[in-house]
Amino acid sequence: MFSFSNLQDTAHDVQAALARLRTEERSALLLHYMEDFPVAKVAAIMHMPVGTVKSHLKRGRDKLETFLKQNGYEKE
């Protein structure tokens, strides 16, 4: 979990990080974490196997973490 001090700046940084992701990674993350769809539902929506969705989620999370760390955010 990251420590966020200024919510407005944080929201901007997260949006910027999401914009840098590949479309598949961003879509999988948004559907799973923001829309709260289970992985199987995300796979059905995105017309791809569950394993592929899990890979997109992992890569997307890793890229977001790297971007946020590079921009001064630290894990708690």
Residue 33 lies in a domain: yes
Mean pLDDT throughout 6-23?
88
Residue 6 lies in a domain: no
Residue 12 lies in a domain: no
With a CB cutoff of 8 Å and minimum separation 6, the contacts of 1 are 75, 76
CATH at 64 = 1.10.10.10
Which structural domain, as residue segments, surrounds residue 40? Answer: 23-76
Domains in the chain, number: 1
In the chain, count H helices and then E strands: 4, 0
Residue 17 lies in a domain: no
pLDDT digits (tens, 9 = 90+) for 35-59: 999 999 999 999 999 999 999 999 9
Task: Label residue 3 by pLDDT band (50, 70, 90).
Answer: low
Task: Label residue 2 by pLDDT band (50, 70, 90).
Answer: low
**pLDDT at position 4, please?**
55
